[in-house]
Amino acid sequence: MSAVPAGLATDKQPPMTVPLRYFLVGFAFLLAGGGVGLAGAFDVAPGFARLAHVHLLLAGWVCLTIMGAMTQFVPVWSNTALHSRRLANAALALVAVGVGGLAAAFLATSIHWIHGFGGVLVAGIWVFAYNLARTLATLDRLDATEAHFAFALACFAVLAALGFILAFDLSTPILPFGGISRPEVVGAHATLAVFGAIIGTVFGALYQLATMFTQTEIHGRERHLVHVEYGYPVGVVALATGRLLGAATLATAGGLLIGRRARVRRP
């Protein structure tokens, strides 16, 4: 029996030029990140080359690719129109300028421009998150895929704010604050980026795409759906919070919960 969902609203999708722009800009950042990484391997890259390399690949290539895919996939899967195509294009422009400028500022060790372009990047991510959040808000209820996407959007918004704090701290030291040090903010920022925004989106998409491509059904879907929907996000939040507050027990519990809930098990 076919597991391909019926009634996907392809008429709801934005023009293909919208996600394609995201993918092309993301690919350009992949090439740039590869170049910076190669220069770093030969020890000829200037400034904060490692930070430039990481942000070009993660914020530039990976996140822009995910943002483009979500902009296309959410309206189709959820059978609803994208809230605003203008905001989708504005988000791309802001993120592209923010990532490119941030990487250049890292390489030039231009401290003030780091948080300047960091602010542009944050604005772009927040515009993207707002646009898709408004799109999902039109639904009566969220299924497993949409719930994962909503969680990923929340992670995008929070990690962007933490990133700006880190950028601002370079020019105007504000950390440690309230017992929270810079390494702890970095840990929470990275956790939300990798486990929340990136893997959270992948899990949501796989919930549908895996069955579509393999023409099968998820084993034990009814019994384990709660594990996937709630266990993983709770684990990510616990891990990020534990790392932010330096609470090793909470972080460990979150890590264990992520590992346990992320497993695909047969009944």
pLDDT over 70 (residue 223):
no
pLDDT over 80 (residue 3):
no
d(CA 245, CA 180): 6
In this prediction, what percent of the chain has a pLDDT beyond 90? Answer: 68
- Give pLDDT, residue 7: 52
pLDDT category, 10, cuts 50, 70, 90? low
The tokens describing 125, both together, are 């991510």
Q: Is 7 part of any domain?
A: no
Looking at the fold, whether 59 and 175 belong to one and the same domain comes out as no
pLDDT over 90 (residue 6):
no
Q: Is 130 part of any domain?
A: yes
Last residue in a domain, options 140, 164, 190: 140
The burial class, CB within 10 Å (0-12 / 13-18 / 19+), for 213 is exposed
The burial class, CB within 10 Å (0-12 / 13-18 / 19+), for 104 is middle
Q: Is 237 part of any domain?
A: yes
Which sign, positive or negative, has the C-alpha torsion 85, 91, 94, 99? negative
- Give pLDDT, residue 216: 67
Residue 67, number of CB atoms within 10 A of its CB? 28
pLDDT over 90 (residue 50):
yes
pLDDT over 90 (residue 93):
yes
Residue 87 contacts residue 127 (beta carbons within 8 Å): yes
- Give pLDDT, residue 4: 47
Looking at the fold, whether 233 and 129 belong to one and the same domain comes out as no
pTM of the model: 0.88
Residues 6+ apart with CB under 8 A from 172: none
Our count of domains for the chain comes to: 2
Last residue in a domain, options 87, 115, 140: 140
d(CA 79, CA 75): 6
- Give pLDDT, residue 78: 87
Looking at the fold, whether 119 and 193 belong to one and the same domain comes out as no
pLDDT category, 258, cuts 50, 70, 90? confident
d(CA 171, CA 111): 6
Looking at the fold, whether 30 and 48 belong to one and the same domain comes out as yes
Tally of CA atoms within 13 A in the half-sphere of 134 that contains its CB: 12
- Give pLDDT, residue 171: 84
Which domain, by its residues, includes 134? 12-140
pLDDT over 70 (residue 77):
yes
Looking at the fold, whether 45 and 86 belong to one and the same domain comes out as yes
- Give pLDDT, residue 15: 78
pLDDT over 50 (residue 1):
no
Q: Is 246 part of any domain?
A: yes
Residue 131 contacts residue 91 (beta carbons within 8 Å): yes
More confident residue, 191 or 78: 191
pLDDT over 70 (residue 224):
no
Q: Is 194 part of any domain?
A: yes
Q: Is 5 part of any domain?
A: no
Q: Is 3 part of any domain?
A: no
Q: Is 55 part of any domain?
A: yes
Instruction: Please state, in angstroms and as integers, the Cα–Cα distance from residue 48 to each residue in 20, 100, 129, following that order.
Output: 30, 14, 28
Taking all residues of the chain, what is their mean pLDDT, rounded to a whole number?
88
Last residue in a domain, options 104, 121, 140: 140
* Lowest-pLDDT choice from 173-177, 191-195, 226-230, 259-263: 226-230
d(CA 55, CA 52): 5
In tens, the pLDDT along 146-192 reads 988 999 999 999 999 999 999 999 888 999 988 899 999 999 999 99
Looking at the fold, whether 149 and 103 belong to one and the same domain comes out as no
pLDDT over 90 (residue 48):
yes
Looking at the fold, whether 99 and 164 belong to one and the same domain comes out as no
pLDDT over 90 (residue 242):
yes
DSSP 108-130: HT-HHHHHHHHHHHHHHHHHHHH
Looking at the fold, whether 130 and 163 belong to one and the same domain comes out as no
Looking at the fold, whether 199 and 240 belong to one and the same domain comes out as yes
